[in-house]
Amino acid sequence: MGCAASSQTAAKTTALIVPGAKTILHLDASNNLGGHSRKASKRAVEDLVKAHKGANVVQRDISELPGLPNGAMDVWFGGETTAKQDELLKLSKTLVAEVQAADIVVIGSPIYNFGPSTGLKGWIDQIARMGITFEYVDGAPVGMLKNKRAIVLVASGGTKVDSKRDHHTPWLRTALEFVGIEEHAFVPVFGGEVDEAAFAEAIAGKAE
């Protein structure tokens, strides 16, 4: 597997992309390199690879991913772009291509201060692209990332998943559905303990 120097511009991937095999996009959003969400997402990917022989794995650390750069809104909604604007879109295009190519998206994500990490928010901002990952039909948004499923390992210490104080999970659920990923499973990792029943169902492909 090749490893790039910057988590913002490149990802680790299996050495050979096998045509016809499942592609798993593995994202880690925790700023704790030894965090529970990272351990749980690693385990999920390992189990998925066992279930889908020959699967391709693309791994990206999004913990330090930036949000939208200044000037991005001028080009975020399509149309002709200048060379300078193309530079602003470079990272977004890479991230979009990764999720477009994926069959399964695995996200290791902590709840920070009741919400998502800045890296996860940045990833959503970078992939939510009008006319590319979503469009409007008769005034209503329609996601364009079809035939994909997501498994989200949500780590928390004091805020339980889907509790009144959890603004991370409903936000991410909405964001995934907005771009078309309507099949998803959220697995709580509370206090370092994985919800084993939810984990097993997620690996087996049982969505919420």
The domain that contains 97 carries what CATH number? 3.40.50.360
Query: How high is the pLDDT of residue 192?
Result: 96
Longest dimension (CA), the chain: 50
Return the percentage of the chain with pLDDT > 70, whole number. Answer: 87
49-106: per-residue pLDDT in tens? Answer: 999 988 999 999 999 998 777 777 777 666 677 787 777 788 999 999 999 999 999 9
- 13 found inside a domain: no
On whether residue 12 sits in a domain, the answer given is: no
- The CA-atom distances, in angstroms, between 183 and each of 3, 36, 117, 198 are 30, 24, 22, 14
Please give the tally of structural domains in the chain. Answer: 1
Amino acid at 10: A
Closest CA to 7 of 57, 44, 61, 56: 61
Phi, psi dihedral angles at 186 (to 5 degrees): -110, 120
The answer on pLDDT for 8 being more than 80 is: no
Q: For 102, which DSSP code?
A: -
Evaluate whether residue 158 is within a structural domain.
yes
Q: Residue 5 and residue 131: Cα distance in Å, rounded?
A: 31
Whether the predicted pLDDT of 7 surpasses 80: no
**Sheet strand arrangement including 104-110:** 12-13, 56-61, 23-28, 104-110, 149-156, 183-190, 193-194
Q: Is the pTM of this model over 0.75?
A: yes
Give the tens place of pLDDT for each residue, 122-144. Answer: 999 999 999 999 999 999 999 99
Predicted confidence at residue 1, as pLDDT, reads 34
Residues forming a β-bridge with 140: 137
Determine the structural domain holding residue 116 and report its residue range.
20-204
Domain assignment present for residue 2? The answer is: no
Q: What is the mean pLDDT of the chain?
A: 89
pLDDT in tens, 161-181: 999 999 999 999 999 999 999
